[in-house]
């Protein structure tokens, strides 16, 4: 019983962390905006916001690994590779959705 509760809890946390990171990537509102409303005026705000969300995601994945819980099924293969590398590079920011939205990136002329 406790193991199922732990799995459900961690799966929820993993899903929440993914949504938080993706909202930060898309420049949508997150709780970070509420915590630091004065930061919106600073040009580096979105970088910090993404960094915080990425750190949260990596922390949850690290806990899943330590608990021998599956986390990769929540992500595309490429996204899981980015998480394994742990470094939030411009490539991660630019290509996070690449496999899911490739068709939508084509311009209609």
Rounded Cα distance between 84 and 93, Å, is 15
Angle (nearest 5°) at CA 28 between 45 and 81: 85
Rounded Cα distance between 44 and 100, Å, is 28
Domains of the chain, by residue range, sit at: 2-101
Q: Write out the chain's pLDDT in tens, 109 residues.
A: 556 768 899 999 999 999 999 999 998 998 888 888 888 788 788 889 999 999 999 999 999 999 999 999 999 999 999 999 999 999 999 999 985 544 444 433 3
Instruction: Indicate the DSSP class of residue 43.
Output: T
Residue 45: both structure tokens together:
């705000």
Cβ contact 64:14 at 8 Å: yes
Q: What is the pLDDT of residue 107?
A: 37
Longest CA span, the chain? 57
Burial 30-42 (b: 16+ CB within 10 A, else e): bebeeeeeeeeee
């Amino acid at each position: 019983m406790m193991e199922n509760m732990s799995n459900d809890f961690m799966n929820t946390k993993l899903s929440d962390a993914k949504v938080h990171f993706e909202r930060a990537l898309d420049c949508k509102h997150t709780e970070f905006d509420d915590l630091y409303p004065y930061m919106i005026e600073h040009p580096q705000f979105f970088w910090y916001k993404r960094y915080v969300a990425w750190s949260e995601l990596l922390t949850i994945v690290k806990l899943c690994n330590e608990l021998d819980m599956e986390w990769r099924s929540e992500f595309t293969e490429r996204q899981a590779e980015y998480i394994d590398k742990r470094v939030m590079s411009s490539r991660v920011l630019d290509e996070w959705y690449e496999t899911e939205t490739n068709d939508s990136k084509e311009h209609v002329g």
